[in-house]
Amino acid sequence: MTVQQPRTGVTLADFDTIMREKVPFVGDMGVVTEQLSADQARLRLPFNQRHIRPGNVICGPAIFALADIALYAVAWLVVPKADLAVTTEATVHFLSGAKPGDLLADAKILKAGKRLLIAECHIRSAVDGALCAHVIGTYAMPPEPR
Amino acid sequence: MTVQQPRTGVTLADFDTIMREKVPFVGDMGVVTEQLSADQARLRLPFNQRHIRPGNVICGPAIFALADIALYAVAWLVVPKADLAVTTEATVHFLSGAKPGDLLADAKILKAGKRLLIAECHIRSAVDGALCAHVIGTYAMPPEPR
Amino acid sequence: MTVQQPRTGVTLADFDTIMREKVPFVGDMGVVTEQLSADQARLRLPFNQRHIRPGNVICGPAIFALADIALYAVAWLVVPKADLAVTTEATVHFLSGAKPGDLLADAKILKAGKRLLIAECHIRSAVDGALCAHVIGTYAMPPEPR
Amino acid sequence: MTVQQPRTGVTLADFDTIMREKVPFVGDMGVVTEQLSADQARLRLPFNQRHIRPGNVICGPAIFALADIALYAVAWLVVPKADLAVTTEATVHFLSGAKPGDLLADAKILKAGKRLLIAECHIRSAVDGALCAHVIGTYAMPPEPR
């Protein structure tokens, strides 16, 4: 099966740069862009001992940060200059404790309207594949340039 | 008006220590506990240039981290050892761009059941008081010790 | 204190008609518009034995229907022809069992943008005032007529 | 592929009866249970002209009612007497206008804990298969009988 390329032409290296330069709070976490297709993105959060919380699991805010940037990535799949796309809302469900280890975020577009993009993201442990969290959220797309 | 004290006796200094020692991802952000009462908590996120995102506003994951720790704080208001209280879900709405500057989180208990705690959190700019975000979420409380 | 009138001029009778004619599923439930101001609406759901579920409380879908129409009401407070305003998402938290009796919905605008309206709604029992549910949601506003 | 049966032994006819007798608000809508397996349920909402709202699409509250009862169905897949299982929260995203016609709800368990069940539900048009809504929510499970 051929994976369809992003129609905006954004590459893995482009989005790694976007994270580092435009969203340093997330860039500093060392998130890596692993896959980008027409409507999906996979990002990886490398394990960091400082992300641990009681119960020896990765804390919710680190998981949310990964999901939010993965949703931002899919906005870049459909709009050429998505800098100003902003999350308007997001709902996260934590399904199982995320064991120490890398996390993978798989974000997928559910609806790409002119004004709103709705996407969901599954967060899994790269250690054992367990589904740790589900996030669904909305991005308000930047007005089209004239 | 006298503010009612937390029935668990948790103090501002206690919760500052909890953040630094138990949730270092958030502790490293320098969040400060400003008020704790019987059912409310106020925490402050000091401004950090690395929290900025395109549009010159504070990024969503930094805001979510502040809200999540404020919801954790209110769990400590009702359960003596809330280490293992865990967020099961949270919904965040971003209402206006958070200008560069400190943010204040006001968390309030909506329902304190034996098994679940539901609380909401308003995030405001300490610069101009603008309401930046609303978060509502659920904490699963740790089973009572026998 | 003078309550500020809706800037669209929509009246209680107008919105009762809107419910009955445009959203008959809700109109058939007998919901009544009790107050409309510049940014708030209060609606009442009269008690109906067929809304009961196990535990002798009002079922979730009836509560959601009341909240959703209250959020629709506040859209009519800011846009003259809000027929085509649509909910894009909503999150409901059920806080306590709603005893048999009327329910009151108080909806309030949190953000009124050109494209999106975010509002919250508190559902209380008219019997004892208990807070039964909290709903927060987004309406996509109809494009402005040219 | 063999579909695994519900471990509680609940049948299609059982759940149809549960809806009609225990949740009449939904029972009156004529919802039909079409499939039940170990962790999934499919229910159908027959089209009713009174469910229509402006834009000639099915209104949000009717869609939410269908999703909520589908989430209730999956609670019955894992607990023998789930009468008192209650929704604690749910988030719905409306993805596309639901054309006049039957709707299908596919609910699936994401996490079945002792105390909480988290499940999601996809609502599709039976006319053209379009994904109309996504709902994710939590059920608090009844305490185990002693």
Chains B–D, number of C-beta pairs less than 8 Å apart: 18
User: Does the pLDDT at position B102 exceed 90?
Assistant: yes
Residue D49's pLDDT is 98
Which helix (DSSP H) or strand (DSSP E) does residue C60 occupy?
Answer: helix C60-78
Residues of chain A in contact with residue D134, where contact means CB-CB under 8 angstroms, are 110, 120, 136
CA–CA separation, C125 and C95 (whole Å): 12
Residue D90 lies in a domain: yes
- pTM of the predicted model, to two decimals? 0.96
Give the pLDDT confidence of B46-96 residue by residue, as tens digits.
Answer: 999 999 999 999 999 999 999 999 999 999 999 988 999 999 999 999 999
Residue C61's pLDDT is 98
Q: In chain D, which among 48-87 make CB contacts under 8 A with chain A?
A: none
Q: What's the domain range around C129?
A: 12-140
Residue A81's pLDDT is 87
Residue A143's pLDDT is 73
Give the pLDDT confidence of D51-82 residue by residue, as tens digits.
Answer: 999 999 999 999 999 999 999 999 999 998 89
Query: Nearest-CA distance from A88 to chain D in Å?
Result: 13
Residue D2's pLDDT is 63
pLDDT band of C9, cuts 50, 70, 90: very high
pLDDT band of D142, cuts 50, 70, 90: confident
CATH code, domain carrying D85: 3.10.129.10
pLDDT band of C145, cuts 50, 70, 90: low
Average pLDDT over residues A14-41: 97
User: Does the pLDDT at position A3 exceed 80?
Assistant: no
Residues of chain C in contact with residue B95, where contact means CB-CB under 8 angstroms, are 110-111, 118
ipTM above 0.90, yes or no: yes
Q: Note the helical H segments in B23-85.
A: 24-27, 60-78
Write down the mean pLDDT value for chain B.
95
pLDDT over 90, % of chain C: 90
Residue A9's pLDDT is 94
Give the pLDDT confidence of C37-60 residue by residue, as tens digits.
Answer: 999 999 999 999 999 999 999 999
User: Does the pLDDT at position A28 exceed 90?
Assistant: yes
CB contact under 8 A, C118 and A88: yes
DSSP chain D: -PPPPPTT---HHHHHHHHHHH-HHHHTTT-EEEEE-SSEEEEEE---GGGEETTTEE-HHHHHHHHHHHHHHHHHHH-S--TT-EEEEEEEEE-S---SS-EEEEEEEEEE-SSEEEEEEEEEETTT--EEEEEEEEEEPPPPP-
Chains A–B, number of C-beta pairs less than 8 Å apart: 93
Residue B145 lies in a domain: no
Domain count of the fold of chain C: 1
**Residue C54 neighbours by CB under 8 Å, 6+ apart:** D22, D23, D83, D84
User: Does the pLDDT at position A65 exceed 70?
Assistant: yes
User: Does the pLDDT at position C146 exceed 70?
Assistant: no
Eight-state DSSP code of residue C5: P
CB–CB of B76/B15 below 8 Å? yes
Residue D49 lies in a domain: yes
User: Does the pLDDT at position A16 exceed 90?
Assistant: yes
